[in-house]
Amino acid sequence: MTTSLGVIMRAEIEEVPTVFERIKTSAESMKAQIATLPLSTIDSVILVGRGTSDNAALYLKYLVETKIGIPCGLASPSVVSIYGTKLRYKNVLVIALSQSGQSPDLVGYCTAAREGGATVLAMTNDPESPMAKSAHCHLYLHAGPEKAVAATKSYSAELLVSRIFVATWSGERVDIDSIITQTKSNLAQSAQIEKIAQSFDYSGGLTTMGRGYSYANAHEAALKIQETVKIPVASFSSADYLHGPISSLHEQSRVLFLAPIGSSESSMASTVERIRLITSHIYWIGAGFSRDSDEQYLGGAVGLSEIDAVIADSALLQLLALFLAIAAGKNPDAPIGLAKVTKTI
């Protein structure tokens, strides 16, 4: 397909391995910054973000809770911006994630948290942003200028920086080289994904699903497709889906599973079995589940842990959204009605 649509978004997706290389180069500096935080005193973590960054925060939430073993929740910034609550955050670590670091409600929440006794860490793509300056410690995403409205490389960068942060906290090592290698392999599947997108019929509805670490990518896949293709997409935990939403599924429904190598088969089997009885239109991102012959496979990292495969597989969901938008004649670089920086209050 020859088209000028999505040129910027595609270039930014293809830049993800380069972004990871820059993060790798800065990893030791990041670890030194992280070492300045009083992590041994932290009893709980609160994550702050909107949109794509909020989805990345879901991945970080699983990391904190599984690797550190302390409570980790998602903030409601309106508690401060609308209701003016005075926060009491002794022994709390607040982590704010944002591409731009500009949104007033997120910056206000960080400020209120710091005034309430919290330690504040920011992850942004702009070291000079208000959010970066409101934090005790800032970790730069190294994504470089991101011009397409739909965030891609900054989302993948948030995943990797989150991985480095929690690994530093827990004393683990991250094999960034293998993540980069598998991300490149995933990007090499672009022709296959483009072909699938050209015949993708979402008129019967589309649902994305994952569980555990892949839950973040399921939400991000839905958001990217909504932003660029301009259609409603539902996203669920594969466990939650059985508690009611499955009743809306019919034989023309399309389901996209995010299933990285690791625990996908054991954790998602009952949901997949139920869905296969209703619809045969099933698509997979990730190499962690046995697929039926008539189900479409978009690729997935191999040879990585589940935690790292999610990072590498993020490029695949971005390519799918890109090619679905192009197939629909829409420009994913600048979707109508959206701006690159959204400033909520």
Where in the chain are the domains?
7-174, 189-327
Cα→Cα distances 30→34, 58, 81, 124, 162, Å? 6, 21, 30, 13, 11
Reply yes or no on whether the pLDDT at 340 is more than 60. Answer: no
Reply yes or no on whether the pLDDT at 28 is more than 90. Answer: yes
Note whether 7-174 and 189-327 share their fold. yes
Q: Provide the CATH topology of domain 189-327.
A: Rossmann fold (3.40.50)
Q: pLDDT band at 264, cuts 50/70/90? A: confident
Reply yes or no on whether the pLDDT at 2 is more than 60. Answer: no
Tell me the Cα Rg of the chain: 19
Reply yes or no on whether the pLDDT at 304 is more than 70. Answer: yes
- Span 156-211, pLDDT tens digits: 999 999 999 999 999 999 999 999 999 999 999 999 999 999 999 999 999 999 99
Distance CA 150, CA 160 (A): 19
- Residue 1 has what pLDDT? 44
Residue 99: both structure tokens together:
């591409």
Q: Are 70 and 46 in contact (CB under 8 A)?
A: no
Options 3.40.190.10, 3.30.710.10, 3.40.50.10490, 1.10.150.20; which CATH number does 7-174 get? Answer: 3.40.50.10490
Does the pTM surpass 0.85? The reply is: yes
Q: What is the mean pLDDT of the chain?
A: 95
Percent of the chain at pLDDT above 90? Answer: 91
Reply yes or no on whether the pLDDT at 245 is more than 60. Answer: yes
- Residue 339 has what pLDDT? 61
- Residue 344 has what pLDDT? 66
- Span 320-333, pLDDT tens digits: 999 999 999 999 99
Q: Are 50 and 344 in contact (CB under 8 A)?
A: yes
